[in-house]
Amino acid sequence: MDRFVINGGARLKGKIRIDGAKNAALPIMAAALLSDGPNVIHGVPDLADVRFMGEVLGDVGARVTRDPNGDLHLSVDDEADSHAKYDRVRKMRASVCVLGPLLAKRKRARVSLPGGCQIGPRPIDLHLRGLKALGAEIELDGGDIIATCKKLRGAHIFLGGPFGSTVLGTANVMMAATLAEGRTVIESAACEPEVEDLADYLNAMGARISGAGTPRLTIDGVDRLRGAEHQVIPDRIEAGTFLVAAAITNGELTLQNCRLEHLMAVVDRLQNIGVQIEQEGGDVVVGSSRRLEPTDVTTQPFPGFPTDLQAQLMTLLCLADGNSVITEKIYPDRFMHVAELMRMGANIRREGPTAVVTGVKRLIGAPVMASDLRASAALVLAGLVARGTTVIQRVYHIDRGYEAIEAKLASVGADITRVSD
């Protein structure tokens, strides 16, 4: 099992190119099941989760290949099998995104309940509610969701939940609605850029979707969807992680292929802390002063502060001059990184969905263990600034969402090595 060995203290300086967004690419790959022709997707990162999705699609008759330029080619060769099996789906929550396309295109789908990072309960009841509203019959059998229909019909659907809108639920229902008869209106739809990117791809396939990026989506069903070519948007979570990397090492990084309009809440908090962020042409330049101010932050659906950057920001606030308060409103149990940061000398007190972070003068290198994707990124950031050596176990978590993060960091001055047993 691989691990990272990091010798902290290096000041990062240089250029990093941001990859395409994993959270946009995965639903887009699933959407290819709706098409009657070949699809080409540009900018898809070479990640474990992308490979997992390729395996899931392969099980239900799709062919997924990557050409020498890194572009994904997807086409459907066989529609006989609509069962996304447990051995595949358990590895990644986004696998549930095949449910809507399979149901809409083949009138049947059997998808195991999904797995992924262990960051608390993330039920899919909103997905099922939306599909039922379109006319699907849903039952559970042996841990599988079985969805069938004679014909999907447009409906007026509310997709709000106790923690706000559902990103994957919006994606699933939107994809299913593209081939439904009549008009579907989704209220309290997720507004995330990844949902908007999916809508752009579906429209390129011939769908009729309006309102993407707003809480109200309107989908007028069509009879068929063709194959399409699409460029995936940049990964705002990877970009945010490198913004923090520059700040925490008192470095200066130039991020290429970065869209600040997708990171406004993050930029606001970082600037409040004392990080300098500027747009220079198509690039973003980030640096920081040595004194970091404390701040308060609450995770929210887009355009609020993303839960996927909560752990990374917490690591930065561990070194701020005072007390900061982080409230997790999306996944209240997403604090498994706290214990590992405290092993490195952080002063953090958790109170339910809130963590109070009291800044310390320095972090100390230690052996730590990654518990999920974003927590592992937070530990890498801590290792970059810690005094001494940090060894991070179970880095397969980080490989799910960051392509060769150690190589990118090493290219801008970090002392980080991947070690395989």
Q: What residues contact 407, with CB distance under 8 A and at least 6 apart? A: none
CB under 8 Å to 83, separation ≥6 — which residues? 59, 60, 110, 111, 144
* Residue 331 tokens, joined: 């996944």
Eight-class DSSP state of 230: E
- Largest pairwise CA distance in the chain: 64
Q: What is the rounded distance in angstroms from the CA atom of residue 241 to the CA atom of residue 313?
A: 8
Q: Cα dihedral angle (19, 23, 27, 30), rounded to 10 degrees?
A: 60
Site of tokens 């809480």: 215
- C-alpha distance across the termini of the chain, in Å: 6
Q: How far apart are CA 380 and CA 386, in angstroms?
A: 10
Contact 28, 197 (CB under 8 A): yes
How far apart are the C-alpha atoms of 299 and 320, rounded to whole Å?
A: 19
Q: Are 159 and 173 in contact (CB under 8 A)?
A: yes
* Tokens describing residue 361: 């003068």
Structure tokens at 94: 């986004």
Q: What is the three-state SS of 72-89?
A: EEEEECCCCCCEECHHHH
Active site residues: 117
Cα separation, 387 vs 362, in Å, equals: 7
